[in-house]
Structure 1
């Protein structure tokens, strides 16, 4: 695996970098498949968020999401 340009010797991996390595390993080492899996999950989460915004009032969410226009 290529070393990042800004990586110093012995630098610990960040949590996100660890998750990225785990996602690639789960995809059998294929980074494109791993990215596609992440994008699909993101679409699913955005859909769930949109449904929750429709179901929950702005007052109940205490302004967590913007009021509907």
Structure 2
């Protein structure tokens, strides 16, 4: 079992927060900005994937073929 799944959710989130803050050298404003930017990127990726699926342009996976 990986360390991330072994920890209770609250501990996992606390650890993730500590890591994000450390990656931004302890600057909380930079941490929040980086997380907002990452979230916007993921939202855009999700919208693009949903559009591709809606028009039938997304590649099928092996589980879709069954």
The alignment's TM-score, normalised by the length of structure 2, stands at 0.64
- Equivalences for residues 20-59 of structure 1 within 5 A: 20-57=17-54
Q: 1:17 deviation in Å? A: 1.1
Runs of 4+ in structure 1 displaced over 4 angstroms? none
Summarize deviations over 1:13-44 as a string: whole Å, max 9, x none.
61011100000000000111001000000000
Q: 1:52 deviation in Å? A: 0.3
Larger Rg: 1
The structure where helix makes up a greater share of residues is 2
Please report the RMSD computed on the Cα atoms of aligned residues, expressed in angstroms: 1.1
Equivalenced residue count is: 45
Structure 2 unmatched ranges of 5 or more:
1-9, 55-66
